[in-house]
Structure 1
Amino acid sequence: MDQIDLDLLATLEADARLSFAELAERHGLSKTPVWKRVKAMEEAGAIRGYAAQLDAAALGFGIEAFVQVTLQSDAAERFEAVVMAHPAVRRCHATTGAGDYLLHVLCRDIAMMDRLLRREIARMPGVVRTETIVSTRTVKDRHSLASAAKALGKG
């Protein structure tokens, strides 16, 4: 992956709806080489897909929280299967440190958060302990991975 690829990725991160012609024009290239580069990055897995970015608040989710979960030692696979299917869990990360997993959850209100924590997450397979941190506001939501790769000398 070279500097041109990283520049193309940064542009696609900002607006994935651009046509190959528009993408080529922005970077002073012709359409065919841009198309080939983008296809190669898709095949290599650098581009995992294209999606609309939705606003959680506009969709009625007023509470965003992070739940650290500690499990019994033999419950990871069962826990992960339940988490994968749960609609309120936006992201799940296996972690090091005091907890085993960090869940990023969205809820409509505090009542929904209470139900989620007490009736659902606490009852997931192997859960021993949870600790919840509620986000009061988002300071930074996204950062360009292509820009980070450029800054770290990938390109």
Structure 2
Amino acid sequence: MDQIDRKICKLLQQSGRMSNAEIANAVGVPVSTANDRVRRLVANGTITGWHVHLAPDAVGADLCCFVMIDMAYQGEAEACAVLVGLDEVQELHHISGAHSYLMKLRLRNTKELQAFMSEKVKPLPAVQRTETIFSMDALKESSALRIAQDVGSK
């Protein structure tokens, strides 16, 4: 990955709807070159998809919370498979420290959270304990990645 590829990745993280002509103009290459580079970034797995970011309150997902989960080893893989398949789960991270997993949820309200936890999370045999932290306000929420300057350099 060279400097032009890094610029293209940064631009597409900011606006995935940019045309190849806009990308080409922004990075100073011909349109055909921009098109070829984007195709290559998709083919080599650098670009993994195209996404729309929705306003949580517009789709009934006002409540953002993080759940620390302690799991027993027995049944852990099965529990994780269930959790990653649930639409309410935005992220599930295997973490170090006192807890096994950190899960990010988006739900309508605390009543929906209570039902989700009691009907979908706590019945999983591997789940031993949970601790929920509520986000009062998201000052920054992004899926954009910082692109290291030396990544892919030769």
Q: How many residues align?
A: 152
Q: Does the CA contact (< 8 Å) of 2:70 and 2:127 recur in 1?
A: yes
Q: Does the CA contact (< 8 Å) of 2:69 and 2:127 recur in 1?
A: yes
Mark the CA change 1:90 to 1:143 in structure 2 (over 3 Å): closer, same or farther: closer
2 CA distance for matches of 1:99 and 1:75?
Answer: 16
Aligned to 1:104: 104
Q: Does the CA contact (< 8 Å) of 1:70 and 1:99 recur in 2?
A: yes
Shift of 1:143: 6.4
Q: Give the 5 Å matches for 1:58-77.
A: 58-77=58-77
Q: Percent of counterpart pairs with the same letter?
A: 28
- Using the size of structure 2 for normalisation, the TM-score is 0.91
2 CA distance for matches of 1:148 and 1:47?
Answer: 12
- Using the size of structure 1 for normalisation, the TM-score is 0.90
Question: Which ranges in structure 1 are unaligned for 5 or more consecutive residues?
Answer: none
Shift of 1:119: 2.8
Aligned to 1:27: 27
Q: Does the CA contact (< 8 Å) of 2:66 and 2:133 recur in 1?
A: yes
Give the counterpart letter for 2:96 in structure 1: T
Aligned to 2:113: 113
Aligned to 2:130: 130
Give the counterpart letter for 1:103 in structure 2: M
Aligned to 1:41: 41
Aligned to 1:13: 13
Question: Which ranges in structure 2 are unaligned for 5 or more consecutive residues?
Answer: none
SS, match of residue 56 in structure 2: coil
